[in-house]
Structure 1
Amino acid sequence: MMNGTIQNRESFLTNIAKQLGRERKTSVEKPIWKFNPQDEVLKGASQDDLVEVLKEQCKSINTDIVITNTEKLPDSLKEVVKNYGGGPIITWKDNRFDEYGLSHLMNQEWPEAGIDLHVWDHTKQEENIEKANFANVGITISEITLAESGTAVLFSSKDRGRTVSFLPATSVIIMPKSTIVPRMTQAAQFIREKVKSGEQVASCINFITGPSNSADIEMIPIIGVHGPIKATYIVVENL
């Protein structure tokens, strides 16, 4: 397909501005607001304060929350998966699992216990979807967590399939405590800074708040209509 050619663009836009009775602008200046209430929510809150806000919000979004550290993380994750009934499990191909001390659990303990674990493989798209569709547990890692709403922000990539978070029956999201922020404002700033610095940002960024919820029919809340029916956040304190 041939690329289109724009002709007489400048004269066309200048004529529109003239008809509107205003000067033609070639750039847009960012407005300076006198008040920025979005920056005041939970301003000055410590990481411990944000964890407490997150814990309270989890009660409203039907989500369990576990507070642990890197030393206890493997046992904490194993216990959560056990309480959900075990496998099959699907997870991302993500080096952070090794960094968080989960390689022994995933590569040895679970296989030896007969628990089926599938690691996302971008070369096997159909198999990935099939495994996710029939998985009991999907395990992911939150890039940023919004304390105010109890929202996990997941960055997808070729090794981090987005279906891992919404096709399995239950969802387990690991959350480094250091990445918990007050609200959407800080998440947007975080993503904007990545773009400004030239970093490659995920083409798909998912904002997930607990298990799937719907109240479309007669305003009656129903959980699990279009995603996991249960969710657990595992906050890791020394990450």
Structure 2
Amino acid sequence: MTGTIHNRETFLSQIASSLGRSRLSSGVTDPEWKHRPQDQVLQDATPDELVDILKTQCLKIHTSLVITDAKKLPETLHEVVANYGGGPIVTWKDERFSKWGLEPLMKKEWPSQKLEVYEWDHTKGAENIRQAEKANVGITISEMTLAESGTVVLFSDKDKGRTVSFLPATYIALVPKSTIVPRITQAARKLRELHHSGKQVASCVNFITGPSNSADIELNLVVGVHGPVKATYIVIDDL
């Protein structure tokens, strides 16, 4: 749906007048900076080195990190979920779950236990929120992963609800190794490239760095204040 902008010219002219200048009639030229230190950080790091950096950072953000491959992913995911006490589980609706051999998860047929699993369904409206609220584990997939800060980047859409990552008691992010970049510099560049290539960019992009935490009260860090109390990143070696 396309919206309509009302009184745009009057509004912009009033701002320009308040700034003591006339309206700009042409586009703004991007400045060319002489120094771009943000591009130099970790620029020569290999994928394996980025994984090591991510692993070190996860220790600082109270997040567990497990490394596996696509073949062993079902077993690894099952173990992490079991360590969190099992279900209920809520997940995105994403074809990559099947690609990685996780059909038993979606069919509730994991070995040794019957887990209650709910897959996001945009046609069910508020029921999705209710299921996420009662879930013990939320599982999503990272689209980009920032090694420097230990941050996973999630793109929301109709099949990938935002609440899957922050309403359940615990959170698991599946992190393809190919998604790991040095820092937010590269993530912002990739988002810009998506836009300029004509591809749809998610209306909501979430940057999540481990479990929720706050140090607002007397600078004492408390983990698990307003979201998952524990988080695990499962790095999938897809290179």
Query: How far is the alpha carbon of 1:23 from its aligned partner?
Result: 9.3
Query: How far is the alpha carbon of 1:4 from its aligned partner?
Result: 3.3
1:178-226 CA-partner distances (Å, limit 9, x unpaired): 1100000000001000000110111111000000010000000001111
Matched AA of 1:211: P
Query: How far is the alpha carbon of 1:8 from its aligned partner?
Result: 7.3
In structure 2, distance between residues paired with 1:164 and 1:191: 22
Structural mapping, 1:125-204, within 5 Å: 125-204=125-204
For the pair 1:228 / 2:215, whether they are aligned, the reply is no
SS state of the match for residue 194, structure 1?
helix
SS state of the match for residue 107, structure 2?
helix
User: Paired residue for 2:65?
Assistant: 65
SS state of the match for residue 110, structure 1?
coil
Give TM-score, length-normalised by structure 2.
0.91
Give TM-score, length-normalised by structure 1.
0.91
Matched AA of 1:216: D
User: Paired residue for 1:56?
Assistant: 56
In structure 1, distance between residues paired with 2:172 and 2:9: 54
- Unaligned ranges ≥5, structure 1: none
Matched AA of 1:177: K
SS state of the match for residue 29, structure 2?
coil
Query: How far is the alpha carbon of 1:238 from its aligned partner?
Result: 1.9
User: Paired residue for 1:80?
Assistant: 80
Q: Is the 8 A contact 1:90 1:119 kept in 2?
A: yes
1:139-186 CA-partner distances (Å, limit 9, x unpaired): 000000000000000001010000000000000000000110000000
SS state of the match for residue 158, structure 1?
coil
Matched AA of 1:41: V
Aligned residues: 236
In structure 2, distance between residues paired with 1:73 and 1:107: 16
Query: How far is the alpha carbon of 1:101 from its aligned partner?
Result: 1.3
For the pair 1:4 / 2:14, whether they are aligned, the reply is no
Q: Is the 8 A contact 1:18 1:24 kept in 2?
A: no
Q: Is the 8 A contact 1:110 1:116 kept in 2?
A: no
User: Paired residue for 2:121?
Assistant: 121
Gap change, CA 1:100 and 1:8, over 3 Å in 2: closer
Gap change, CA 1:132 and 1:111, over 3 Å in 2: farther
Gap change, CA 1:168 and 1:25, over 3 Å in 2: same
Q: Is the 8 A contact 1:17 1:23 kept in 2?
A: no
In structure 2, distance between residues paired with 1:201 and 1:7: 28
In structure 2, distance between residues paired with 1:23 and 1:237: 53
SS state of the match for residue 139, structure 1?
strand
- Unaligned ranges ≥5, structure 2: none
Q: Give aligned-pair identity as a percent.
A: 58
Gap change, CA 1:221 and 1:17, over 3 Å in 2: closer
In structure 2, distance between residues paired with 1:147 and 1:51: 7
In structure 2, distance between residues paired with 1:96 and 1:172: 15
In structure 1, distance between residues paired with 2:156 and 2:238: 24
Gap change, CA 1:145 and 1:16, over 3 Å in 2: same
